[in-house]
Structure 1
Amino acid sequence: MKISVVIPTLNSEKTIKLAVSSSLKLADEVIVVDSFSTDRTVEIAEKEGAKVLQVKGSRLIARIEGAKHAKGEYVVNLDSDMYFSENFKGFEEKVIALGEITVGKGIVYKLMSADREIVHEKWAENLSVNKGGIIPRMYDRQLLLKAYEMIPPSLRDKLNAFEDSVIYYNVMKLYKGKVQFIPGAVYHIEDDSLWRFMKKWYKYGKNAKLLRGTEYERIIYERKSRPGLTLGEKVKLFPLMVIKGIPFALGYYLNIGNKV
């Protein structure tokens, strides 16, 4: 089985070396799709052995272009702040969710670590397309390409957040098999300050308005809380919900009718 890893980048020089080097230990090729970074992202990625494409457009466009150029039977949609663990193995299905291990420091790391630990313990409930907190990142390439064709051009050109959810939604309209979950398959770096983290969720809110009036709109409303949580777990994750939810709501409602 040949595996291609696709990594969208924009000024990702701090993390791209680890993302590429870990990928090439386990995959057959790494395709970095760069949105014309102004730092050393491209230089570092090429030095580590990645094939680099420079493409104008959204993160979703980057994902699509990477898959088009990929030669593997499977495509892994990795982020530039992720890298593989030794648990990335044992593939049995055409759609595979990669459990994430949070690494980093500070308050954002602590909150995201708690969230992922709880969600991954309840992975079966959290693989729900609309309500779940786990989004698959590894797909049969032909299945993935068909799913990309189903996404409206207006979203392809603009969507810089929730693209992984939209991809999963479309894949599962085509795929009737099982979704495999591999615990601890990748590490996810969470080193943002609280302010940067909230700014990121403000941008997510702005992007979410692009889904208004589409079949994907339900994803936004149905993912307000994780499924299968006890009251104690909900209390534990409440601070994270607030830190995400307030800037998200501001980005969403303050930008209704405006361009992203």
Structure 2
Amino acid sequence: MKVSVVIPTLNSEKTIGLAVSSALKFSDEVIVVDSFSSDRTVEIAEKEGAKVIQIKGSRLIARIEGAKRAKGDYVVNLDSDMYFSDNFKGFEEKVVALGEITVGKGTVYKIMSIDREITHRRWMENLDVKKGGIIPRMYDRELLLKAYDNIPGHLRERLNAFEDSIIYYEVSKLYKGKVQFIPSAVYHIEDDSLFQFMRKWYKYGKNAKLLKGTEYERIMKERGMRPGLTMSEKVKLVLPTLIKGIPFALGYYL
């Protein structure tokens, strides 16, 4: 059983080397789909052993093109600021969620550590395709390609946010089997400043406007509600929710 890792990039020179080198320890190939970076992303990715293709288009298009070129039985949709841990093993199902370990420093790191720690503790509830806070990143390749075909063309061309949620939703229509969860399977680097983080969520909000009037609109609004939490856990998540939610709302509604 072969595994392909697909990583979209845009000016990701700070983290892409680690992402590629770690992925090649656990997979059969790494495909970096670059949106014509102006830094050393491509150079570093190729040096570490990735296959690099460059295309113009959305983040979703990058994921689709990577999967089309992949040769593995499975495709892992990794981000350029993520890398594998030794716990990435033992996958058995066609859809696999990878538990994330937050690494980094500063305020954003602390905020996201709290968010992920609580969410992953309640992983069974949070795998809910419409409301949960955990999105699978590893799929049977043929199943994934069929799901990609069902996403409307205008969204494929333009969607740069929430694409992972849309992918999971479309896969769930086709797949009625078990979703496997592997705890602490990948590390996720959170080194943004608070301003950079909130600016990113503002951009997510602006991009999410593309989902208005589609069947995905409800998912985009409800995902991340973190079901199954105690009142104490909900209180702990108030700050992360506000720091993401306020700039997102500004981008979405203004």
Asked if TM exceeds 0.5, the reply is yes
Task: Provide Cα deviations, 1:119-159, integer angstroms capped at 9, x if missing partner.
Answer: 00100000000100000000000000000000000000000
Task: Provide Cα deviations, 1:102-125, integer angstroms capped at 9, x if missing partner.
Answer: 000001000100110100010000
Instruction: Give the % identical residues.
Output: 81
Q: 1:32 to 1:224 in 2, by over 3 A?
A: closer
Quote the residue 2:247 is aligned against: 247
Quote the residue 1:214 is aligned against: 214
Instruction: After TM superposition, give the deviation of residue 221 of structure 1 in Å.
Output: 2.2
> Within 5 A, what are the aligned runs for 1:127-166?
127-166=127-166
**2:130 and 2:207 mapped to 1: Cα distance?**
17
Quote the residue 2:74 is aligned against: 74
Quote the residue 2:7 is aligned against: 7
Q: Does 1:118 align with 2:115?
A: no
Instruction: After TM superposition, give the deviation of residue 12 of structure 1 in Å.
Output: 0.1
Amino acid at match of 2:240: L
Task: Provide Cα deviations, 1:210-235, integer angstroms capped at 9, x if missing partner.
Answer: 11111111112222521111111111
SS across alignment from 2:72: coil
Extract unaligned runs of 5+ from structure 2: none
CA RMSD of aligned residues (A): 0.6
Quote the residue 2:26 is aligned against: 26
Amino acid at match of 1:252: Y
**1:155 and 1:133 mapped to 2: Cα distance?**
22
Extract unaligned runs of 5+ from structure 1: 255-260
Quote the residue 1:94 is aligned against: 94
Amino acid at match of 2:26: L
SS across alignment from 1:187: strand
In the superposition, the TM-score normalised over structure 2's length comes to 0.99
Amino acid at match of 1:185: A
**2:85 and 2:223 mapped to 1: Cα distance?**
28
Q: Does 1:48 align with 2:48?
A: yes
Quote the residue 1:231 is aligned against: 231
Question: Which stretch shows the higher mean deviation, 55-64 or 222-231?
Answer: 222-231
Amino acid at match of 1:121: R
**1:139 and 1:16 mapped to 2: Cα distance?**
22
**1:193 and 1:49 mapped to 2: Cα distance?**
30
For the Cα contact (< 8 Å) 2:133–2:224, is it kept in 1?
no
Structure 1's consecutive aligned runs of 4 or more residues displaced over 2 angstroms after TM superposition are none
For the Cα contact (< 8 Å) 2:205–2:248, is it kept in 1?
yes
For the Cα contact (< 8 Å) 2:33–2:62, is it kept in 1?
yes
Quote the residue 1:188 is aligned against: 188
Instruction: After TM superposition, give the deviation of residue 207 of structure 1 in Å.
Output: 1.2
How many residues align? The count is 254
**2:247 and 2:222 mapped to 1: Cα distance?**
18
Amino acid at match of 1:155: L
SS across alignment from 2:100: strand
Q: Does 1:58 align with 2:36?
A: no
**2:156 and 2:223 mapped to 1: Cα distance?**
22
Q: Does 1:167 align with 2:167?
A: yes
**2:176 and 2:247 mapped to 1: Cα distance?**
36
In the superposition, the TM-score normalised over structure 1's length comes to 0.97
Q: Does 1:199 align with 2:199?
A: yes
